Amino acid sequence: MRLMEKYNFVSLFAGCGGMDLGFKKAGFNPIVAYDIWNVAIENYRKNIGDHAQVVDLSNWSKPKDLECDLVLAGSPCQGFSTIGKRDIGDPRNSLIIKAVEIALSLKPKIIVLENVPGLLQGKHKEYWSFINNELQSKGYQTKTFLLDARDFGLPQSRRRVFIIASSSKADFDVFNFSSEPQPLSNCLKNVLGLPNHNPNILDLKSKDYIIASKILPGKKLCNVRGGEASVHTWDIPEVFGNISGKERRVLEAIMRLRRRNRRRVTGDADPVELGKINLEVGFKSDLLVGKLIEKGYVRVVGDFYDLANTFNGKYRRADPNGISYTVDTRFGDPKCFLHPVENRGFSVREAARIQGFPDDYIFTGNKRDQYKMIGNAIPPIMAKGIAEKILQII
């Protein structure tokens, strides 16, 4: 163990320390961690160490005598994520370039950069190309890995890109991971009485509870798909209102037609002409469409008609014998994610468990911030697995 203590690392965009915690558990020594969010740094300091600092890295200058063996950087991913707008000009995108600049100024043996798979797609791949060219021009050997949290035994689908750069020749073939993920239900056992396990219990008469009670494992509230995983609003008349058999046929016709008859090159669906609806159902539906508008199931879009609720998945409930959806910043909201067997959202502790945080990592601050820290974090178990491979090549 003493041999490993000499490997010091600097952490950029550290957040609450998910990646740092994994590297620390593998035997590496954190000497300084930077992040601009004071709440995340407060949690980092309480759980990992007082070497964390609130710093705006866009204006960072190298402290005198700062030296390290590794630099870790999990720069903001919002501009690269396929969930967001993927604005190529998002100012946060340039922070990954800043991370490379800072890392190179410290001249470490190893640089580890982490981001979302969107970094490798479309125009955003320009950033990936620039990073690799810049590191290689400074004498680093680089390798890009697309890794999934499932391969580290975690019960969630969470794919991330890691760029690893070594200042000396390295055998990157050691970076293979193939652990079987544990079932989600195992991950959520024995949480009663633990810190941060204070789930919000839904009122039995609330709309959220009634909807949740209709969503079975592996299903979601979804109006724009007709597969087995979709529960439609018209399947829950207790909340959304009763409809007739013919009205249901009209709604299902619109659901199919809006994706089949495309007029625009963007998006994945378009509002539908009344004539096309009539042809699809095989009868004149004008009056029925009017009634569905009154009931709030259909909306008018110019001369066309569309479903009033065109979301693709709310109240998602994962299979307890399978894996979780990707943990994100909304994981405590039952409108987005439901506990696999209970009609409620996930507690902070449950979200942390799925992310691979140990139970002795105690989150503080308001709940919204706690979920945000967890959702933005790199799973510590994933980071530990990568760190152990780096020990083989350093």
Query: Could you give phi then psi for residue 124, rounded to 5 degrees?
Result: -65, -15
77 is catalytic: yes
pLDDT of residue 86: 41
pLDDT of residue 3: 47
d(CA 12, CA 69): 14
Dmax over Cα atoms in the chain, in whole Å?
A: 80
pLDDT of residue 218: 96
- Which residue out of 16, 68, 77, 336 is catalytically annotated? 77
pLDDT of residue 125: 80
pLDDT of residue 267: 83
Q: With beta carbons less than 8 A apart as the criterion, state whether 69 and 9 touch.
A: yes
pLDDT of residue 381: 96
Which residues of the chain fall below pLDDT 50?
A: 1-4, 79-82, 84-86
Smallest Cα–Cα separation from 131: which of 119, 149, 117? 119
- For residue 70, the Cα-to-chain-centroid distance in whole angstroms is 26
Which structure tokens are listed for 320? Answer: 């307890």
The amino acid sitting at 18 is G
Report percent pLDDT > 70 for the chain: 94
d(CA 11, CA 68): 10
Per-residue CA distances from 245 to 235, 242, 293, 297, 383 (Å): 12, 10, 16, 14, 53
Query: Could you give phi then psi for residue 359, rounded to 5 degrees?
Result: -65, -20
